[in-house]
């Protein structure tokens, strides 16, 4: 009965909002950027605008073919995704050396798209990205006679934790203290569910070991000649 309660709790948590998911954006590199410095190079970085959220990559100095290999994640709420390639300047404001919009809304879930996107507003330059709409695998609600496997339960819990951490980061960036408090409470409930799952797993393991010992003892009792040759600790 306890196992079913844990399964029901996991199912309800993972299906509380069926639209949950996140965007995984990998900014790999750019090539043939325009030179913004007098020396014929640039110090490029990418500013990412996703709705009201803003992120930036590290700066790559004195190059027109930077390689960032940096991964950013955002809650999948359908917001416009814009990339602005900038030339860093220690004294003056950063200058724009190209931008683009990433169309991701029609991508199939959990399938990575690899793209070279031409930069707009400049004579040349492309940016190389990979983008994936991450969606937890949906499970049917368990009936009274069925249970989720340990592997599926573990995957669902991991997906929920991942979504909660991304959501928390977004709320912190937007100074949404009420939302942060609510999400922390949800995360605490999820942690309790995970603890229940671990207790259940330990109980099932103990029952399995006891059953193996019982079967071994039955084999010994039913075969005297075997019991003389094999002893169990």
> What is the C-alpha separation between 4 and 195, in angstroms, rounded?
15
Please state, rounded to an integer, the average pLDDT across all residues of the chain: 79
pLDDT attached to residue 1: 39
Q: Is 22-134 a CATH 2.60.40.150 domain?
A: yes
> What is the C-alpha separation between 67 and 59, in angstroms, rounded?
10
Q: What angle is formed at CA 92 by the lines to CA 87 and CA 94, rounded to 5 degrees?
A: 25
Model-level pTM? Answer: 0.60
> What is the C-alpha separation between 187 and 161, in angstroms, rounded?
7
pLDDT attached to residue 190: 66
> What is the C-alpha separation between 71 and 24, in angstroms, rounded?
7
Helix (H) or strand (E) holding 208: helix 177-222
Give residue limits of the domains in the chain.
Answer: 2-18+139-206, 22-134
85-89, 99-103, 132-136 — which is least confidently predicted?
A: 132-136
Handedness of CA 13, 16, 18, 21 (dihedral sign): negative
């Amino acid at each position: 009965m306890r196992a079913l309660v844990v399964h029901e709790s996991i199912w309800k948590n993972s299906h509380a909002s069926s639209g949950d998911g996140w965007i995984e954006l990998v900014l790999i590199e750019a090539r043939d950027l325009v030179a913004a410095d007098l020396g014929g190079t640039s110090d490029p970085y990418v500013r990412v605008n996703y709705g009201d959220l803003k992120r930036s990559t590290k700066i790559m100095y004195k190059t027109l073919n930077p390689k960032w290999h940096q991964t950013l994640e955002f809650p999948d709420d359908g917001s416009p995704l814009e990339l602005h390639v900038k030339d860093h300047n220690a004294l003056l404001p950063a200058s724009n050396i190209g931008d683009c919009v990433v169309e991701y809304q029609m991508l199939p879930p959990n399938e990575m798209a690899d793209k070279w996107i031409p930069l707009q507003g400049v004579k040349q330059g492309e940016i190389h990205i990979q983008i994936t709409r991450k969606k937890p695998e949906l499970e049917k609600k368990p009936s009274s006679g069925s249970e989720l496997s340990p592997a599926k339960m573990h995957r669902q819990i991991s997906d929920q934790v991942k979504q909660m951490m991304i959501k928390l980061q977004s709320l912190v960036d937007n100074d949404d203290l009420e939302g942060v408090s609510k999400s922390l409470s949800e995360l605490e409930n999820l942690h309790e569910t995970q603890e229940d799952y671990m207790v259940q797993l330990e109980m099932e393991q103990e029952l399995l070991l006891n059953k193996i010992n019982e079967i071994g003892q039955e084999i010994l009792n039913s075969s005297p000649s075997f019991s003389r040759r094999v002893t169990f600790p």
